[in-house]
Structure 1
Amino acid sequence: MTTPAQRQTALLVSVVGAVIVALDGTILLMAQPVMQRDLGASVAHIQWTSTGYLVAVAALLVIAGRLGDQYGHARLLFVGVLGFGAASAGIALAPSVGWVIVLRVVQGGFAAFLQPATLALLRLAYPADRLGKPIAIRTGAIAVAAGSGPLLGGVLVAHLGWRAVFWVNVPLAFVIAVLALTVRTPATQRGNSPRLNVTSAGLLAIALATLVHALADVPARGWTAAPTLLEFLAVIGVATMLTRHERRTTHPVVPPAVARSVPVTASMALLLVTTAGLFGALFRATFHLQDVLRLDPLDSGLRVLPLTVLMVLGSPAAVAAMRRYGARRTAIAGTVLVVVGIAGLSRLGPASTWMAMAAAFAAIGAGFATVMVTATGTVVGDAPPGYAGVVSGLKQTAMNIGPTFGIAVAAGATGTAASTMGSTLLILAALAALGLLPASRLPRRPARQEGEHDTTAALPAQAPTPQAAPARHTNS
């Protein structure tokens, strides 16, 4: 058991750890054009400052979560955030774009150590039936950080230059590292955890890295380019090898109790397609705002602001809805809102009013907050404490692949011409609508109120915490 003070510390570390990664992801957008001019870099080089980071993160998230289950999530978070801060300082001092790319890959690797730990700490600190509020707080904080990133980045770049957007990570990382040393969570018998299977881990890393690289290059090369098709074939081949090895080994990187969990797999599928629809729509809408409506980046950001506001407001509302209606109905409602919002954007044109656009973005924000809170609560709450890291890593992997896939669909389906905006957004709305299928597989019953406990649940046989019952889905 943890004390209220220990839970608050874990929540604080979880929130600020998630915020630094979310902020870094969007603040960079404002720095890249200036970085290109300052370093004399090509467009391809600048693209690799993002692609290299994404590939490293995707390759290592599940492995990092698995290591956290074995060695402790506070330790992994400490190492991850210190490395993230050190890499940020290195980028700020980089003399050439080559160094920036290399250090962005390093930064992505440490971000992979950091991200699963921020979620796993919540699972260890809070009972499963009390995860709703902390997950809602974390989701709202991520929305604020991601939404404010472009504005903060614009201010820093305008007054201090592009290197300032990386320097800002350094003091934040130091503070988070100090806080991580104070985190106390119940022991999960890490010594009994199976060792990391190096072969499985390597195959998984190769498959995920290749997949993300292929998707990231679709906007430039298209879906049918020979290199793209070869990479997709390579992913299929490596994934087949991984599946066969996982079935034979006694120490799979994804434990059977996790791989066979319907709530966990359904939640990850829901997050994958919903984030794909959302980020693909944002990518496409950005071109509409700036190329068709001729708005500058700041005005464009203000048009999208209702999405951020409704994500913040929608997170606690989603917790209340889950307690009353259960995860299934709440997730279905959230998915419908996302689909309606994206479809609403497809009908907008140069003569559309600000209110019509705001309503569409607000629907997307409210729906995505609902899906995020529901799916995250399901994934984390359904996981036995000893598997909190690997489950968190899987969830974060879905959250990284989904946006890359969505942007590939948005850019590769019909290009970025103004005349194709409506059809592209309808494709993305249909993609998000696929989330209704996994949403219908989430637990039906409402969450127990705080203080109520499930005394009938039995821990999966291979979980490393035989003394504790697994949390059933918390609907939070």
Structure 2
Amino acid sequence: MTGRVGRAAPLLVGAGGAMIVALDGTVLLMAQPELRRAFGASAAQLQWTSTGYLVAVAALLVLAGRLGDRYGHLRLLHLGLTGFGLASAGIALAPSVGWVIGLRVAQGVCGALLQPATLAVLRLAYPERELRRAIAVRTGAIAVAAGSGPVLGGLLVAHFGWQSVFWINLPLVLAVVLPATALRLPERERPVARRLGLTGAVLLAGCLAVLVHALSQVPVRGWGAPATLRELAGAVGLAAVFVVSERRSAHPFVPPALARSVPVTAAMALLLVVSAGLFGSLFTATFHLQDTLGLDPLTTGLRVLPLTVLMVIGSPLAGAALGRWGPRPTALTGTLLVVLGTAGLGAAAPDGAGVATGVAFALIGAGFAAVMVTATGTVVTDAPPAYAGAVGGLKQTATNIGPALGIALASGAPGTSTPNTLLLLAGITTLGLGPALLLPSVRGVAAAGVGA
């Protein structure tokens, strides 16, 4: 491919692949009630249609990125897309809920293969100036997909049944596979011919799987349940063994250039904390609007709409701010906007005033767009191209664990009022100011440090 079409192809592939995963996660919410009725599934079985996917994705994202660095990101992209589409078709044809759960796990494995590759393709295809714009477009595309998912899912389920939310993935996958097949990345994408560090891979995958499962069960079991405490202790133990193993290994799983990079680790910590605040507040406010104030799902969705709109509008603006002022000021501003928006939701919670709620959601959307674009741009541009997959996997891991943590924090404090829960989440989000301060104040500072 040549000319403008050739320059746009990596963006279409990177943004399109990310949109498929984001859309799938939100349309499923609208299909679960009918799916439960169709199979007579228990509440636990229904929950595993989501939990199985989340655990598989979280456990394998970093490994998938490392495999892409070694064997080629386009190979992993094709494998992930094809498997995701086939698993979706299998779920639509599933004869029992057990098959649905198993195929959702398979879909999670393929989603893990796919997600780091969508970032790596952008990293390898564009120079830094164009890369900032591409990341902003990708962030906006994810917001559109996630925001439209509930509406699209509701329409599909109402007219074509729960299977349609999985059938829809097939034409979407095809729309990304076709340009990906013709895509050729620059020669700088050379497979890394060094050992992956399988001991570290197993330890990290186990740690993340146990952690995500524990967090996903907090809304049901609570933080103080023995099973929750055992799993959290197990995750901490595996993390400690992983760190010791990595320090002693001649072939560490996480490349030292990434593990020792302050900008990369700070950006991932920022994503983890702020995404926890965002999804925790969204979870809390949505339930409050519907269960306490009695709003219907459509009215609730309209109240939340400013968040999606400002994410879409704010993403290119955040990209421009990142290029002009650098990561630190942009990330600090974005984090403060999310804090103000979350606190504003708490203040508006008693009567759920439409204008006040809309403004609060708009602040959260604009702030999260700034954080997402800045943190993603930092980890992708400041890592050597040879580790584009690894850093993409680490970044996606942070954005997968953050929402699980936020929802666990929001739902794990029974008896706490909605305003107090939202103020607590605003306070937790302020912790993101710490890692934001560790980001470079201007572009280009971190890049030299990581590659050293």
TM-score over 0.5 (shorter chain): yes
**Cα distance in 2 between the residues matched to 1:443 and 1:208:** 28
Runs of 5+ in structure 2 lacking a partner? none
Kept in 1, the 8 Å contact 2:266–2:439? The answer is yes
**Structure 1 match to 2:227:** 227
Q: Which amino acid aligns with 1:438?
A: P
**Structure 2 match to 1:327:** 327
**Structure 2 match to 1:464:** none
**Structure 2 match to 1:217:** 217
Structure 1 residues 311, 361: closer, same or farther in 2, change over 3 A?
same
**Cα distance in 1 between the residues matched to 2:352 and 2:193:** 57
Structure 1 residues 352, 218: closer, same or farther in 2, change over 3 A?
closer
Structure 1 residues 48, 131: closer, same or farther in 2, change over 3 A?
same
**How many angstroms does 1:189 deviate by?**
6.0
Q: Which amino acid aligns with 1:53?
A: Y
Kept in 2, the 8 Å contact 1:207–1:238? The answer is yes
- SS of equivalent to 1:195: coil
Kept in 2, the 8 Å contact 1:11–1:122? The answer is yes
**Structure 1 match to 2:146:** 146
**How many angstroms does 1:412 deviate by?**
0.2
**Structure 2 match to 1:156:** 156
What is the 5 A alignment of 1:266-305?
Answer: 266-305=266-305
**How many angstroms does 1:129 deviate by?**
3.4
**Cα distance in 1 between the residues matched to 2:188 and 2:237:** 35
1:306-352, Cα deviation, whole Å (9 max, x unpaired): 00000001011112222222110110000000000000001124534
1:66-106, Cα deviation, whole Å (9 max, x unpaired): 00001111110000000000000010011111111110000
**Structure 2 match to 1:254:** 254
Kept in 2, the 8 Å contact 1:6–1:185? The answer is no
1:98-142, Cα deviation, whole Å (9 max, x unpaired): 111110000000000000000010000011233111111111110
**How many angstroms does 1:181 deviate by?**
1.3
**Structure 1 match to 2:427:** 430
Kept in 2, the 8 Å contact 1:52–1:101? The answer is yes
**Cα distance in 2 between the residues matched to 1:436 and 1:26:** 29
Kept in 2, the 8 Å contact 1:62–1:397? The answer is yes
Structure 1 residues 99, 218: closer, same or farther in 2, change over 3 A?
same
1:460 correspondence with 2:451: yes
Kept in 1, the 8 Å contact 2:276–2:405? The answer is yes
**Structure 1 match to 2:312:** 312
1:420 correspondence with 2:411: no
Kept in 2, the 8 Å contact 1:341–1:362? The answer is yes
**How many angstroms does 1:150 deviate by?**
0.1
**Cα distance in 1 between the residues matched to 2:168 and 2:313:** 27
Structure 1 residues 298, 123: closer, same or farther in 2, change over 3 A?
same
**How many angstroms does 1:353 deviate by?**
2.4
**Cα distance in 1 between the residues matched to 2:89 and 2:390:** 29
**Structure 2 match to 1:108:** 108
**Cα distance in 1 between the residues matched to 2:7 and 2:204:** 33
**Structure 2 match to 1:465:** none
TM-score (norm 1): 0.92
Runs of 5+ in structure 1 lacking a partner? 449-453, 462-476
What is the 5 A alignment of 1:46-445?
Answer: 46-188=46-188, 190-414=190-414, 420-445=417-442
Task: Output the aligned Cα RMSD.
Answer: 1.6
**Cα distance in 1 between the residues matched to 2:177 and 2:320:** 33
Same amino acid, percent of matched pairs: 63
Kept in 2, the 8 Å contact 1:414–1:424? The answer is no
TM-score (norm 2): 0.97
Q: Which amino acid aligns with 2:418?
A: M
Structure 1 residues 78, 426: closer, same or farther in 2, change over 3 A?
same
**Structure 2 match to 1:29:** 29
Q: Which has the higher mean CA deviation after the structures are superposed, 386-395 or 248-257? A: 248-257
**Cα distance in 2 between the residues matched to 1:131 and 1:3:** 17
1:270-316, Cα deviation, whole Å (9 max, x unpaired): 00000000000010011111112211212111110000000001011
Structure 1 residues 343, 164: closer, same or farther in 2, change over 3 A?
same
**How many angstroms does 1:253 deviate by?**
1.2
